[in-house]
Structures are given as structure tokens and as C-alpha cells.
Amino acid sequence: MVLFFYSGFLALGVILITLVLINEQRKNKPAVSKHFIRDKLSEFLKITPMMQKIETIEKELHPVENSPSEKLSALIENDWKMKYEKLETLFQEKSADFGKIEQALNNEIKNRAGFEDFKYLLEEEIERSKEKRRQLQAELNNLEMENENLRSKLA
């Protein structure tokens, strides 16, 4: 970041110096020699050794190479990432299985409700049939007694 800033600063300085020199030429001042422009640019570019020192200091403060602890932490991080991915896939599989089981349970509850309704209707029909059988049995008994009475009167 610092290098980017300084390189931008350097480019901006070169552009500004060039513009100032061109502007002086446009004002009808005596022509500026190429040596004069080169001297001005070289003065400005004397900053570059300082920039190189800044680069070396920055590299010392933020080394590019990985230390053993960084390598170990990277290995541990990769291990955790792999474990996370495995757990994530396992979670997805179990979630899918749970969804299927939940759907099967909902279907079973609906089927159970339908079965209970059908069972209730059948039980009502059985009760009506039993009641009708009792009524018919009582009527049969009355008719048999009447038949016996009529036979005894006829005999």
C-alpha cells in the first residue's frame, strides 16, 4: 500500500514538473534546454533511493515467507476446513433424510385420520345392524308366540 502511494506520488511529480516546464515555454520565455529538464527530473528522482529503503524496511516488517507457526496454522486451518466440509455434507444428507421421514410421518398421520373416520363409520353401521337384529328378533319372537296362540286356538 505504501509502495503504491509512493509510486503514484513519483508519477504525479514527474507529470507536474513536465507541465510546469511546458507552461514556461508557452509563456514565451526563453526556450528551456533539454539539459535543464533532465536536471530537474534527476533532482526529483533522487527520492528513489529513499523509496528503495522504505521498500526494504517494509519487507522486513512484513516478511513474505511463511514461518513454521504460519505453516502449522495453515495446516490446522485446512484440516478444519476439510472437517467442516465433511460435516456440512453429512448435515445436508441428514437434513434430506429428516425431510423424507417428516413427509412419511405426515402421510401416516393423514392415513391414520382417514382410517379413524372409516373405523367410526363401520362401528356405527355395526351398532345399527345389532339394533336392527334385536328388533327383528323381538318381532320374530312375537310372531312365533302369535303363531303358537293361533295353533292352540285351531287345535
Q: What parts of the chain have a pLDDT lower than 70?
A: 1-14, 16, 19-67
pLDDT confidence of residue 70: 75
Distance in angstroms (rounded) separating the CA atoms of residues 62 and 35:
41
pTM over 0.75: no
Looking at residue 62, the DSSP 8-state letter turns out to be: S
User: Residue 67, SS3?
Assistant: coil
Show the 3-state SS of 99-153.
HHHHHHHHHHHHHHHHHHHHHHHHHHHHHHHHHHHHHHHHHHHHHHHHHHHHHHH
pLDDT confidence of residue 135: 96
**Structural domain boundaries in the chain:** 1-66, 109-155
pLDDT confidence of residue 100: 94
Show the 3-state SS of 47-58.
HHHHHHHHHHHH
pLDDT confidence of residue 36: 62
Say if CB 44 and CB 17 are below 8 A apart: yes
